[in-house]
Structure 1
Amino acid sequence: MLDFDKLDLDLLRLIVEEPRAGVREYSRRLNIARNTAQSRINKLESSGVLVSWRPQIDLAPLGYTVMAFVHVHIAQSHLEPTLDRLTRIPELIEANTVSGDGDLLCRFVARDNSHFGEVLQEVNGTEGVLRTRSEIVLSRRVWPRSIPIVAKLRTDQNSGRING
Protein backbone atom coordinates (compact mmCIF):
# COMPACT_ATOMS: atom_id res chain seq x y z
CA MET A 1 0.00 0.00 0.00
CA LEU A 2 1.30 3.42 -0.91
CA ASP A 3 1.57 6.12 1.73
CA PHE A 4 -1.36 8.56 1.62
CA ASP A 5 -1.83 11.19 4.28
CA LYS A 6 -4.89 13.05 5.52
CA LEU A 7 -4.48 15.76 2.88
CA ASP A 8 -4.47 13.15 0.09
CA LEU A 9 -7.65 11.59 1.49
CA ASP A 10 -9.37 14.96 1.96
CA LEU A 11 -8.47 15.90 -1.60
CA LEU A 12 -9.69 12.55 -2.93
CA ARG A 13 -13.00 13.02 -1.15
CA LEU A 14 -13.44 16.47 -2.71
CA ILE A 15 -12.58 15.13 -6.16
CA VAL A 16 -15.13 12.32 -5.91
CA GLU A 17 -17.86 14.52 -4.45
CA GLU A 18 -17.27 17.46 -6.80
CA PRO A 19 -15.18 16.41 -9.80
CA ARG A 20 -15.95 19.60 -11.73
CA ALA A 21 -14.79 22.00 -9.02
CA GLY A 22 -11.22 22.19 -10.32
CA VAL A 23 -7.77 22.42 -8.78
CA ARG A 24 -8.11 26.06 -7.77
CA GLU A 25 -11.30 25.32 -5.80
CA TYR A 26 -9.80 22.20 -4.19
CA SER A 27 -6.78 24.19 -3.04
CA ARG A 28 -9.02 26.99 -1.69
CA ARG A 29 -11.19 24.56 0.30
CA LEU A 30 -8.21 22.70 1.72
CA ASN A 31 -6.27 25.92 2.36
CA ILE A 32 -3.23 24.75 0.40
CA ALA A 33 -1.30 26.13 -2.56
CA ARG A 34 -2.63 25.34 -6.02
CA ASN A 35 0.67 23.62 -6.93
CA THR A 36 0.36 21.43 -3.84
CA ALA A 37 -3.15 20.40 -4.85
CA GLN A 38 -2.00 19.68 -8.41
CA SER A 39 0.99 17.62 -7.28
CA ARG A 40 -1.24 15.61 -4.93
CA ILE A 41 -3.72 15.00 -7.76
CA ASN A 42 -0.83 13.87 -9.98
CA LYS A 43 0.27 11.49 -7.19
CA LEU A 44 -3.26 10.06 -6.90
CA GLU A 45 -3.38 9.53 -10.66
CA SER A 46 0.10 8.05 -11.08
CA SER A 47 -0.40 5.68 -8.14
CA GLY A 48 -3.57 4.30 -9.72
CA VAL A 49 -5.92 5.49 -6.97
CA LEU A 50 -7.65 8.07 -9.14
CA VAL A 51 -8.39 6.08 -12.29
CA SER A 52 -10.94 8.25 -14.07
CA TRP A 53 -12.48 11.68 -14.33
CA ARG A 54 -15.39 10.29 -16.35
CA PRO A 55 -18.91 11.09 -15.26
CA GLN A 56 -21.15 8.31 -13.96
CA ILE A 57 -23.99 7.78 -16.44
CA ASP A 58 -27.42 6.34 -15.75
CA LEU A 59 -28.40 4.45 -18.90
CA ALA A 60 -32.10 4.11 -17.96
CA PRO A 61 -33.06 7.61 -19.22
CA LEU A 62 -31.32 6.66 -22.48
CA GLY A 63 -33.73 3.75 -22.90
CA TYR A 64 -31.71 0.94 -21.27
CA THR A 65 -34.03 0.24 -18.35
CA VAL A 66 -33.04 -3.39 -17.69
CA MET A 67 -29.81 -4.26 -15.90
CA ALA A 68 -28.69 -7.81 -15.24
CA PHE A 69 -25.75 -9.63 -13.74
CA VAL A 70 -24.69 -12.67 -15.73
CA HIS A 71 -22.40 -15.41 -14.43
CA VAL A 72 -20.50 -16.69 -17.47
CA HIS A 73 -18.86 -20.11 -17.48
CA ILE A 74 -15.99 -20.26 -19.99
CA ALA A 75 -14.17 -23.20 -21.54
CA GLN A 76 -10.89 -23.91 -19.77
CA SER A 77 -7.97 -21.74 -20.94
CA HIS A 78 -10.25 -19.66 -23.21
CA LEU A 79 -10.82 -16.71 -20.89
CA GLU A 80 -8.96 -13.99 -22.82
CA PRO A 81 -10.24 -14.77 -26.34
CA THR A 82 -13.78 -15.25 -25.02
CA LEU A 83 -13.63 -12.00 -23.06
CA ASP A 84 -12.38 -10.23 -26.17
CA ARG A 85 -15.41 -11.53 -28.10
CA LEU A 86 -17.81 -10.59 -25.27
CA THR A 87 -16.53 -7.00 -25.20
CA ARG A 88 -17.84 -6.61 -28.74
CA ILE A 89 -21.36 -6.77 -27.30
CA PRO A 90 -22.23 -3.11 -26.62
CA GLU A 91 -24.67 -3.99 -23.83
CA LEU A 92 -21.80 -5.41 -21.73
CA ILE A 93 -20.89 -2.60 -19.35
CA GLU A 94 -18.70 -4.43 -16.82
CA ALA A 95 -16.90 -7.76 -16.53
CA ASN A 96 -14.92 -9.21 -13.64
CA THR A 97 -13.16 -12.54 -13.19
CA VAL A 98 -14.50 -14.12 -10.03
CA SER A 99 -14.17 -17.08 -7.73
CA GLY A 100 -17.20 -19.22 -7.07
CA ASP A 101 -19.98 -19.77 -9.57
CA GLY A 102 -18.72 -18.98 -13.04
CA ASP A 103 -15.56 -17.50 -14.42
CA LEU A 104 -16.85 -14.01 -15.16
CA LEU A 105 -19.46 -11.87 -13.48
CA CYS A 106 -20.74 -9.46 -16.11
CA ARG A 107 -23.15 -6.57 -15.95
CA PHE A 108 -25.35 -6.04 -19.00
CA VAL A 109 -28.02 -3.50 -19.86
CA ALA A 110 -30.95 -3.82 -22.26
CA ARG A 111 -33.94 -1.80 -23.43
CA ASP A 112 -36.45 -4.31 -22.02
CA ASN A 113 -36.72 -7.98 -21.03
CA SER A 114 -37.17 -9.09 -24.64
CA HIS A 115 -34.02 -7.23 -25.65
CA PHE A 116 -32.18 -8.76 -22.70
CA GLY A 117 -33.21 -12.18 -24.00
CA GLU A 118 -31.57 -11.31 -27.33
CA VAL A 119 -28.42 -10.10 -25.57
CA LEU A 120 -28.29 -13.29 -23.50
CA GLN A 121 -28.63 -15.39 -26.66
CA GLU A 122 -25.69 -13.49 -28.14
CA VAL A 123 -23.65 -14.14 -24.99
CA ASN A 124 -24.52 -17.84 -25.00
CA GLY A 125 -23.63 -18.02 -28.70
CA THR A 126 -20.19 -16.52 -28.11
CA GLU A 127 -17.40 -18.97 -28.83
CA GLY A 128 -15.88 -20.16 -25.55
CA VAL A 129 -19.01 -19.60 -23.44
CA LEU A 130 -20.23 -22.88 -21.94
CA ARG A 131 -23.28 -21.60 -20.06
CA THR A 132 -24.66 -18.58 -18.22
CA ARG A 133 -26.82 -17.80 -15.23
CA SER A 134 -28.45 -14.40 -15.06
CA GLU A 135 -30.10 -12.24 -12.43
CA ILE A 136 -32.14 -9.20 -13.44
CA VAL A 137 -31.73 -6.17 -11.18
CA LEU A 138 -35.09 -5.04 -9.81
CA SER A 139 -33.81 -1.75 -8.42
CA ARG A 140 -30.43 -0.22 -7.72
CA ARG A 141 -30.17 0.54 -4.01
CA VAL A 142 -26.58 1.74 -3.81
CA TRP A 143 -24.59 3.15 -6.73
CA PRO A 144 -20.89 2.26 -6.98
CA ARG A 145 -19.16 4.28 -4.30
CA SER A 146 -15.79 4.86 -2.70
CA ILE A 147 -16.34 7.73 -0.25
CA PRO A 148 -17.15 5.44 2.73
CA ILE A 149 -13.73 3.76 2.38
CA VAL A 150 -11.95 7.13 2.00
CA ALA A 151 -13.75 8.34 5.14
CA LYS A 152 -12.80 5.15 7.02
CA LEU A 153 -9.15 5.57 6.04
CA ARG A 154 -9.29 9.19 7.25
CA THR A 155 -10.83 8.09 10.56
CA ASP A 156 -8.26 5.31 10.94
CA GLN A 157 -5.46 7.86 10.44
CA ASN A 158 -6.96 10.16 13.06
CA SER A 159 -7.14 7.29 15.56
CA GLY A 160 -3.58 6.17 14.79
CA ARG A 161 -4.61 2.79 13.34
CA ILE A 162 -2.66 3.49 10.13
CA ASN A 163 0.34 5.68 9.38
CA GLY A 164 0.01 8.87 7.44
Structure 2
Amino acid sequence: MIDLDETDRAILAALGRDATQSAGALARDLGLSQPACWRRIRRLEDTGVIRGRRLVLDAAALGFGVTVFLGIKLATKGLVSLEDFERAATAIPEVQTVQHVLGMFDYRLRITARDIADFERILRRRVMTLPGVGQVEANVLLSEERRPGPL
Protein backbone atom coordinates (compact mmCIF):
# COMPACT_ATOMS: atom_id res chain seq x y z
CA MET A 1 0.00 0.00 0.00
CA ILE A 2 1.28 3.45 -0.88
CA ASP A 3 0.98 6.54 1.28
CA LEU A 4 -1.06 9.18 -0.53
CA ASP A 5 -0.86 12.83 0.38
CA GLU A 6 -3.46 15.50 -0.41
CA THR A 7 -1.82 16.31 -3.74
CA ASP A 8 -1.92 12.66 -4.80
CA ARG A 9 -5.60 12.51 -3.84
CA ALA A 10 -6.29 15.72 -5.78
CA ILE A 11 -4.57 14.24 -8.85
CA LEU A 12 -6.63 11.04 -8.56
CA ALA A 13 -9.86 12.98 -8.15
CA ALA A 14 -9.11 15.18 -11.15
CA LEU A 15 -8.16 12.21 -13.34
CA GLY A 16 -11.26 10.40 -12.11
CA ARG A 17 -13.38 13.24 -13.47
CA ASP A 18 -11.44 13.53 -16.75
CA ALA A 19 -8.64 11.09 -17.48
CA THR A 20 -7.88 12.77 -20.82
CA GLN A 21 -6.37 15.92 -19.37
CA SER A 22 -2.64 16.41 -19.81
CA ALA A 23 -0.14 16.57 -16.97
CA GLY A 24 0.41 20.22 -17.88
CA ALA A 25 -3.27 21.14 -17.59
CA LEU A 26 -3.60 19.13 -14.40
CA ALA A 27 -0.51 20.80 -12.95
CA ARG A 28 -1.92 24.27 -13.68
CA ASP A 29 -5.22 23.37 -12.00
CA LEU A 30 -3.46 22.03 -8.91
CA GLY A 31 -0.72 24.67 -8.66
CA LEU A 32 2.13 22.27 -9.46
CA SER A 33 4.88 22.33 -12.05
CA GLN A 34 4.28 20.09 -15.06
CA PRO A 35 7.33 17.86 -14.32
CA ALA A 36 6.31 17.41 -10.66
CA CYS A 37 2.77 16.52 -11.65
CA TRP A 38 4.00 14.10 -14.32
CA ARG A 39 6.35 12.41 -11.79
CA ARG A 40 3.47 11.95 -9.33
CA ILE A 41 1.20 10.47 -12.01
CA ARG A 42 4.00 8.15 -13.11
CA ARG A 43 4.59 7.03 -9.49
CA LEU A 44 0.85 6.34 -9.08
CA GLU A 45 0.95 4.26 -12.27
CA ASP A 46 4.16 2.43 -11.33
CA THR A 47 2.82 1.47 -7.89
CA GLY A 48 -0.46 0.21 -9.37
CA VAL A 49 -2.72 2.87 -7.87
CA ILE A 50 -3.60 3.94 -11.41
CA ARG A 51 -4.12 0.79 -13.44
CA GLY A 52 -5.19 2.39 -16.69
CA ARG A 53 -7.55 4.92 -18.16
CA ARG A 54 -10.89 4.00 -19.63
CA LEU A 55 -13.22 5.38 -22.21
CA VAL A 56 -16.87 5.39 -21.13
CA LEU A 57 -19.23 4.55 -23.99
CA ASP A 58 -23.00 5.04 -24.03
CA ALA A 59 -24.44 1.54 -24.54
CA ALA A 60 -27.86 2.81 -25.64
CA ALA A 61 -26.34 5.18 -28.21
CA LEU A 62 -24.48 2.19 -29.66
CA GLY A 63 -27.65 0.12 -29.92
CA PHE A 64 -27.30 -1.97 -26.76
CA GLY A 65 -30.60 -1.53 -24.96
CA VAL A 66 -30.56 -4.42 -22.47
CA THR A 67 -28.25 -5.17 -19.56
CA VAL A 68 -28.75 -8.41 -17.66
CA PHE A 69 -27.07 -9.66 -14.51
CA LEU A 70 -26.78 -13.42 -14.41
CA GLY A 71 -26.22 -15.37 -11.23
CA ILE A 72 -24.58 -18.67 -12.09
CA LYS A 73 -24.16 -21.65 -9.79
CA LEU A 74 -21.70 -24.21 -11.09
CA ALA A 75 -22.78 -27.84 -11.20
CA THR A 76 -19.26 -28.97 -10.31
CA LYS A 77 -16.65 -27.12 -8.31
CA GLY A 78 -12.92 -27.34 -8.18
CA LEU A 79 -9.96 -25.23 -9.19
CA VAL A 80 -9.99 -26.60 -12.74
CA SER A 81 -13.70 -25.98 -13.25
CA LEU A 82 -13.44 -22.42 -11.85
CA GLU A 83 -10.56 -21.55 -14.16
CA ASP A 84 -12.26 -23.19 -17.16
CA PHE A 85 -15.48 -21.30 -16.49
CA GLU A 86 -13.72 -17.95 -16.02
CA ARG A 87 -11.61 -18.35 -19.16
CA ALA A 88 -14.65 -19.29 -21.27
CA ALA A 89 -16.91 -16.59 -19.79
CA THR A 90 -14.40 -13.80 -20.35
CA ALA A 91 -14.09 -14.86 -23.99
CA ILE A 92 -17.75 -13.97 -24.68
CA PRO A 93 -17.75 -10.40 -26.08
CA GLU A 94 -21.18 -9.50 -24.63
CA VAL A 95 -20.03 -10.37 -21.10
CA GLN A 96 -18.86 -7.09 -19.58
CA THR A 97 -17.83 -8.41 -16.16
CA VAL A 98 -17.23 -11.80 -14.59
CA GLN A 99 -17.35 -11.68 -10.80
CA HIS A 100 -16.56 -14.67 -8.57
CA VAL A 101 -18.88 -14.11 -5.60
CA LEU A 102 -19.76 -15.62 -2.26
CA GLY A 103 -23.40 -16.45 -1.59
CA MET A 104 -26.21 -18.17 -3.43
CA PHE A 105 -24.32 -18.16 -6.75
CA ASP A 106 -20.70 -18.77 -7.64
CA TYR A 107 -20.50 -16.11 -10.35
CA ARG A 108 -22.24 -12.94 -11.40
CA LEU A 109 -22.00 -11.85 -15.03
CA ARG A 110 -22.99 -8.50 -16.49
CA ILE A 111 -24.17 -8.98 -20.07
CA THR A 112 -25.01 -6.23 -22.53
CA ALA A 113 -27.27 -7.12 -25.48
CA ARG A 114 -29.11 -5.27 -28.22
CA ASP A 115 -32.54 -6.46 -27.02
CA ILE A 116 -34.20 -9.37 -25.19
CA ALA A 117 -34.08 -11.59 -28.30
CA ASP A 118 -30.35 -10.92 -28.59
CA PHE A 119 -29.92 -11.73 -24.89
CA GLU A 120 -31.80 -15.01 -25.35
CA ARG A 121 -29.44 -15.93 -28.20
CA ILE A 122 -26.42 -15.15 -26.00
CA LEU A 123 -27.90 -17.14 -23.13
CA ARG A 124 -28.73 -20.22 -25.21
CA ARG A 125 -25.72 -20.33 -27.49
CA ARG A 126 -22.97 -19.00 -25.29
CA VAL A 127 -23.74 -18.88 -21.57
CA MET A 128 -25.54 -22.22 -21.20
CA THR A 129 -22.67 -23.94 -23.02
CA LEU A 130 -20.03 -22.67 -20.59
CA PRO A 131 -18.18 -25.42 -18.71
CA GLY A 132 -19.82 -26.43 -15.45
CA VAL A 133 -22.94 -24.24 -15.67
CA GLY A 134 -25.69 -25.47 -13.36
CA GLN A 135 -28.32 -23.06 -12.09
CA VAL A 136 -28.79 -19.66 -13.78
CA GLU A 137 -30.85 -16.68 -12.62
CA ALA A 138 -31.30 -13.53 -14.72
CA ASN A 139 -32.06 -10.02 -13.51
CA VAL A 140 -32.73 -7.35 -16.14
CA LEU A 141 -31.41 -3.88 -15.35
CA LEU A 142 -34.26 -1.35 -15.41
CA SER A 143 -32.26 1.76 -14.50
CA GLU A 144 -28.88 2.69 -13.11
CA GLU A 145 -28.68 5.73 -10.89
CA ARG A 146 -24.97 5.74 -10.21
CA ARG A 147 -22.34 4.47 -12.56
CA PRO A 148 -19.12 3.08 -11.12
CA GLY A 149 -16.55 5.78 -10.81
CA PRO A 150 -13.33 6.53 -9.02
CA LEU A 151 -12.87 5.43 -5.42
Flag whether TM exceeds 0.5 (same fold): yes
Deviation per residue, 1:27-84 (Å, 9 max, x gap): 1111111111111111211222212212111222111110011111122011111111
CA distance, structure 2, for counterparts of residue 68 and residue 43 of structure 1: 38
Counterpart of 2:54 in 1: which secondary structure?
coil
Identity %: 28
RMSD across aligned positions (CA): 1.2
- Give the 5 Å matches for 1:94-109: 94-109=97-112
Q: Which residue of 2 is the match for residue 18 of structure 1?
A: 18
CA distance, structure 2, for counterparts of residue 72 and residue 117 of structure 1: 16
- Check whether the contact 1:86–1:92 (CA below 8 A) recurs between aligned residues: yes
Pairs aligned (count): 147
CA distance, structure 2, for counterparts of residue 110 and residue 101 of structure 1: 25
1:130 aligns with 2:130: no
CA distance, structure 1, for counterparts of residue 63 and residue 15 of structure 2: 29
- Check whether the contact 2:27–2:34 (CA below 8 A) recurs between aligned residues: yes
Deviation per residue, 1:61-120 (Å, 9 max, x gap): 111110011111122011111111112211101111111121111100111111111112
Q: Which residue of 1 is the match for residue 56 of structure 2?
A: 56
1:143 aligns with 2:147: yes
- Check whether the contact 1:85–1:126 (CA below 8 A) recurs between aligned residues: yes
Deviates more, 1:3-12 or 1:50-59: 50-59
Point out where structure 1 has 5 or more consecutive residues left out of the alignment: 150-164
CA distance, structure 1, for counterparts of residue 47 and residue 99 of structure 2: 22
- Check whether the contact 1:8–1:40 (CA below 8 A) recurs between aligned residues: yes
- Check whether the contact 1:66–1:111 (CA below 8 A) recurs between aligned residues: yes
- Check whether the contact 2:16–2:149 (CA below 8 A) recurs between aligned residues: no
Q: Name the TM-score, length of structure 1 as normaliser.
A: 0.84
Counterpart of 1:70 in 2: which secondary structure?
strand
Q: Which residue of 2 is the match for residue 65 of structure 1?
A: 65
- Check whether the contact 1:124–1:131 (CA below 8 A) recurs between aligned residues: no
Deviation per residue, 1:5-42 (Å, 9 max, x gap): 00000011111112222000011111111111111111
CA distance, structure 1, for counterparts of residue 98 and residue 90 of structure 2: 9
1:90 aligns with 2:112: no
- Check whether the contact 2:11–2:26 (CA below 8 A) recurs between aligned residues: yes
Q: Which amino acid aligns with 1:76?
A: K
